[in-house]
Amino acid sequence: MEERPLVDEFMALIAQAQTEYRPILTHFLNPRERYIIQTLLGNSDELKLEARGGYLAAERKRMLIFPSYYEPQASDFEVTPLEISYPQKFAELSHGQILGTLVNSGLNRNVIGDIITDGERWQVFTQTNMKDYFQSQIERIAKIKVKLVELDQAQVIEPLDEWQQASITVTSLRLDAIIASCYHISRQRAKELIKSRKVQLNWMLIEKADYTLDSYDIISVRGHGRIRLDEVLGTSKKGKLRLGVSILGK
């Protein structure tokens, strides 16, 4: 796994917070990255952690590493919500189109938080120091004319739950078998995606096609979306496993 650079980066931030005895803010982190920081810090009496991503259920959040005396404020996390204004009656946007445009603007993925929708409107959370850049640089998404408008916290939408529940039948709980079944592709194609480093399991790169999954594991497949293994429903008459899964499009 390629987590050594992350560990080194997070150790340096923790050391900085200890040495300077002041709050230190990270960029946006996924749940796995936040877990690494929490593990590294342990049960420290001197330093505390808090994470926020702009709304309660955010997946990507910025973490504040701060001395125990400090009381964090919302403004400390420097997260700004932006509305993606576009002609809703004549065009449609997707999560993949929005993320691709933002990342291709020349900035790192870690300055971008969640991208959410209520089925019509789209909003994105960014680091506050990057909002002006995005507002000046992003004029089109997938050939659709857009404008990014800064929002107050009260204007943040209630995100639509876009996970679609499904039932699949597989021979085993292998990673490649579940990817193949959910996306209606061959096992060989699923293995190729894994081998070409396009698959993450619980936000970690994975290259083992035969890895056995557990309930609530989340698979991310670049170009396809996400899969969550919800439960084993039982066994078919032919001895195959029936699984309940949730699938999120790209």
Last residue of a domain, one of 102, 136, 155: 155
Cβ within 8 Å of residue 96, ≥6 positions away: 250
* 64 and 86 part of one domain: no
pTM here is: 0.84
CA gap 118, 191 in Å, rounded? 34
Strands 79-85, 122-127: pairing kind: antiparallel
Total Cβ atoms within 10 A of residue 148? 22
- State the pLDDT at residue 211: 97
- State the pLDDT at residue 160: 87
The residues of the chain scoring below 50 in pLDDT are: 1
What's the total number of domains in the chain?
3
* 180 and 242 part of one domain: yes
**Domain span at 42:** 4-77
Shortest CA distance to 60 belongs to which of 21, 102, 23, 115? 115
Last residue of a domain, one of 49, 77, 105: 77
**Considering the chain, what is the average pLDDT of its residues?**
94
- State the pLDDT at residue 161: 79
Sign, Cα dihedral of 13, 16, 18, 20: negative
Last residue of a domain, one of 155, 182, 202: 155
Model confidence pLDDT, tens digit, residues 108-149: 999 999 999 999 999 999 999 999 999 999 999 999 999 999
